[in-house]
Amino acid sequence: MGGSMINTFGSIRASFSWRFLLALFMLPISGCGDTTMKWKEQVDLHNNETIIVARTATMAGNWIAGGGGGSINKRMTVKIIQPARPDNPSVWSDHYVPILLDRDPDNGEWFIVATFYHCSEWYDLGRPALPYTEYRFRSGSWVRQSLSTKWIGREVNVLPVDLSERELLKEKPVLSTEQKRLNLSRPAIGEEYVRIVGEWKTNC
């Protein structure tokens, strides 16, 4: 009888261990708390003017059972603070990643090209052929539309930030254009975050 009880408890323990491990590796991505970063940066416009924008980024760090991780963009904002002009657009705010801010030379409209870091955001955009969406400032508000092809080839002028830039942003009262270019020259940065690409192959 003693041997039978030992075998029974052994089977229960083995079953529990297997179920526990299975549940552990089936855990979804889990948040590690939100982080909000605030900074200022220079933005060079197509007409050779340099403006200064104030930015915020609220992101959540994540881990995956078994290894891996990253950051999820929950909200970013862009506000032009210098020069202060009556026709400056209002604050841009969304959960995509702004990478290009300028005025359309054809009609003077302010526009922003934004991208994303995760497949779910690409799905939300309707799975466009290129990893971007565009915003136009019209009648006092930002309106989202498809990317204008005339921006293909333009270098980005707004830093595509994630949590890895926390220390960089703390050190610089105003992030310069040269500092941003140096940051974007890292080998790990994808080409689609350095300039507006005309071809793109998704891994989603």
Q: What pLDDT is stored for residue 62 in this prediction?
A: 53
Strand order through the sheet with 69-82: 30-44, 50-63, 69-82, 92-94
- Which of these, 196, 116, 110, lies nearest to 152 by C-alpha position? 196
Q: State both tokens at 182.
A: 């140096």
**Whether 184 contacts 192, CB under 8 Å:** no
Q: How many domains does the chain have?
A: 1
- Tell me whether residue 20 is in a domain: no
Per-residue pLDDT of the chain in tens (204 residues, 90 and over written 9): 444 444 443 443 434 343 333 333 333 333 457 889 999 999 999 999 999 999 999 988 654 333 334 568 889 999 999 999 999 999 999 999 999 999 999 999 999 999 999 999 999 999 999 999 999 999 999 999 999 999 999 999 999 988 777 777 877 789 999 999 998 998 889 999 999 999 999 988
Q: What pLDDT is stored for residue 7 in this prediction?
A: 45
- Tell me whether residue 64 is in a domain: yes
Distance, C-alpha 30 to centroid of its chain: 18
- Structural domain boundaries, residue 180: 30-193
